[in-house]
Structure 1
Amino acid sequence: MHYEIHGRTEADAPTVVLSAGLGGAGAFWTPQLPTLGQRCRVLVYDQLGTNKSPAHLPDGYCIADMAKELIGLLESLGIHQCHFVGHALGGLVGLQMALLRPQLLHSQVLVNAWSSPNAHSARCFAVRQNLLRDSGPAAYVQAQALFLYPPDWIAANSERLARDDAHALAHFPPTANLVRRIQALLAFDVEAELSGIQTPTLLIANRDDMLVPWQRSQHMAAVMPNARLALLNYGGHASSVSDSEPFNQILLDFLAERCGQVAAA
């Protein structure tokens, strides 16, 4: 898989791994790189079958496969422990890693993620799949911002979104890969194992997220023994982009608790 390492280079620098959502692109985390890079070694990557990590995803592809791919990447780089930050689908990857290889994670931050299916998100993803199937990639890309960002942010950033849409359409993944990734996130269910995850966890959720109800994060914070919830009022599903300053501060404060180098940098 394509990956990039940013920020500090010292051997004792804490490593933070950033995992994007459905789009799978490491570039999703661009608003976090300058801040995190001053304090940590930061790994971003393009998930398999997306962007610069081309692959044919097989039938039955699942979140566990994505977690194993990332574990393999970290092993190949000699990274034996890290802090993990995952957005939406990326958060599911983190939960799966905490079950498969808990010793790998110092901590995890799960952003607008979930532990089992819910009817609202399933309806949203059904609409997205129907757009892709019936109207094609251009319609899918055009609708994407509606699921990710608040209306006022969309209205104020029309030129930026037009550039983003053009780039997304030019680098659109194979339709079969995208469908299998959606199927994987819809099938994800670790509810029965959730209370056994001991990894120190911060759940970040947005009240105005129209794709994933914020109560899904509230539920995980209540069930996981070492988890807590940070609830934001604004930013939509992708507040790390649309309202990055408060998001970054919450992220840094949590990492500072878990890692002395972050606090001292």
Structure 2
Amino acid sequence: MTATTANEVDAKSTSRFVDIPGFRIHYNEAGAGHTVVLLHGSGAGATGWSNFWPNIGALAQRFHVLAIDMPGWGESSTVDGLARDHPSALIAVLDALGVDRAALVGNSMGGQTSLVTAAKWPDRVSHLITMGAPSPGPALFAAGGGLSEGLKVLMEAYEDPSPANFKRLVQIMCFDQSMATDELANLRSSAALKHPEHLASFLQTRFGGNPRAAWFGMDEKLVQITAPTLLLHGRDDRVVPYEHSLNLLARIPNSRMVLLNRCGHWAQIEHADEFNRLVADFVDRT
């Protein structure tokens, strides 16, 4: 595999598929060196590419980058929502691709997947990096009473995948509204409408069911994570408040946190240059 320049990276040329037990998994691949796995969030139309398009080419200058569509998202197979097990699927993908150890970089739900994987399979995770990730413990300071403002908008995009709802989705994900472009909304909308079976699968759980119960059982296991951990969070995140990263910081022994002001839920998009530099330097130096 040859090194890839940022200008050479596009969704089509980096598109790959791999078969694992039960699923066909789509991913984008670029670059050479130590493997860095990018894991997307749970929003309608989320894919490895739509969550990390400003980052794949930049990180591929120094690393072997895999941006994976998890089961039930993007071009990967769909899944019964109540049987969703992304950490096991991730390990199966790494096995199929011959990757022994990787740095995991997860946004929101992808951060949740990364945390569980690092706790359950410590020998497979060289570095752990999360952005806007939830913590399994109770929220002490964020408003209670159900879903956050951002998660309510996210659910509305699943229930009614209209252009207006996807525009609202990208607007609430970003602090800087100039980043919430029609192009970004259309990228998410087209990916969601292409696979209505994925929308139905997600709505089976509505953040409930077995996956949620298993996640809350992870609280006491976070102290077992041995990988060096970098927690990135937007100060203005209206989807997952930054208190969650403070909770993770208190529990994961070898961790540090960067809180970005004027930043929403998508640090990797709103502050792409700083995000790329932080991730690359952390993986190189730790």
TM-score for the superposition, normalised by structure 2: 0.78
Match of 1:6 among 8, 30, 45: 30
Residue range with higher mean Cα deviation, 69-78 or 116-125: 116-125
Q: How many residues matched?
A: 247
Match of 2:89 among 66, 69, 87: 69
Q: Do the aligned residues in 2 keep the contact of 1:195 with 1:224 (CA within 8 Å)?
A: yes
| 1:153 corresponds to 2:196 | no
Distance (whole Å) between structure 2 residues aligned to residue 181 and residue 113 of structure 1: 19
Instruction: Indicate how the Cα distance of structure 1 residues 169 and 20 shifts in structure 2: closer, same or farther if over 3 A, else same.
Output: closer
More helix by share: 1
| 1:201 corresponds to 2:229 | yes
Distance (whole Å) between structure 1 residues aligned to residue 99 and residue 157 of structure 2: 40
Q: Do the aligned residues in 1 keep the contact of 2:47 with 2:74 (CA within 8 Å)?
A: yes
Q: Do the aligned residues in 1 keep the contact of 2:176 with 2:263 (CA within 8 Å)?
A: no
The residue number in structure 1 matching 2:59 is 36
The residue number in structure 2 matching 1:129 is 155
Distance (whole Å) between structure 1 residues aligned to residue 145 and residue 274 of structure 2: 27
Taking only the aligned residue pairs, the percentage that are identical comes to 28
Q: Do the aligned residues in 2 keep the contact of 1:149 with 1:235 (CA within 8 Å)?
A: yes
Give the alignment's Cα RMSD to 1 decimal: 2.3
Instruction: Indicate how the Cα distance of structure 1 residues 30 and 186 shifts in structure 2: closer, same or farther if over 3 A, else same.
Output: same
Q: Do the aligned residues in 2 keep the contact of 1:221 with 1:228 (CA within 8 Å)?
A: yes
Distance (whole Å) between structure 2 residues aligned to residue 113 and residue 162 of structure 1: 22
Q: Shift in Å at residue 186 of structure 1? A: 5.0
What 5-or-longer segments of structure 1 have no aligned partner? Answer: 259-265
Instruction: Indicate how the Cα distance of structure 1 residues 132 and 5 shifts in structure 2: closer, same or farther if over 3 A, else same.
Output: closer
The residue number in structure 1 matching 2:280 is 252
Distance (whole Å) between structure 2 residues aligned to residue 37 and residue 198 of structure 1: 25
SS in 2 for 1:146: helix
Distance (whole Å) between structure 2 residues aligned to residue 176 and residue 166 of structure 1: 15
What 5-or-longer segments of structure 2 have no aligned partner? Answer: 1-24
Paired AA for residue 43 in structure 1: L
Q: Do the aligned residues in 2 keep the contact of 1:81 with 1:106 (CA within 8 Å)?
A: yes
Q: Matches of residues 1-265 of structure 1 in structure 2 within 5 Å?
A: 1-8=25-32, 13-23=33-43, 24-27=46-49, 28-55=51-78, 57-62=79-84, 65-116=85-136, 118=139, 119=144, 122-124=147-149, 125-130=151-156, 132-133=158-159, 136-138=160-162, 139-154=164-179, 158-164=181-187, 166-174=189-197, 175-180=199-204, 182-183=206-207, 187=213, 188-189=215-216, 190-258=218-286
Instruction: Indicate how the Cα distance of structure 1 residues 99 and 121 shifts in structure 2: closer, same or farther if over 3 A, else same.
Output: farther
Q: Do the aligned residues in 2 keep the contact of 1:16 with 1:82 (CA within 8 Å)?
A: yes
Q: Do the aligned residues in 1 keep the contact of 2:135 with 2:248 (CA within 8 Å)?
A: yes
Distance (whole Å) between structure 1 residues aligned to residue 189 and residue 221 of structure 2: 41
Instruction: Indicate how the Cα distance of structure 1 residues 173 and 99 shifts in structure 2: closer, same or farther if over 3 A, else same.
Output: farther
Q: Do the aligned residues in 2 keep the contact of 1:109 with 1:203 (CA within 8 Å)?
A: yes
Distance (whole Å) between structure 1 residues aligned to residue 67 and residue 205 of structure 2: 19
Residue range with higher mean Cα deviation, 140-149 or 88-97: 140-149
Distance (whole Å) between structure 2 residues aligned to residue 131 and residue 37 of structure 1: 32
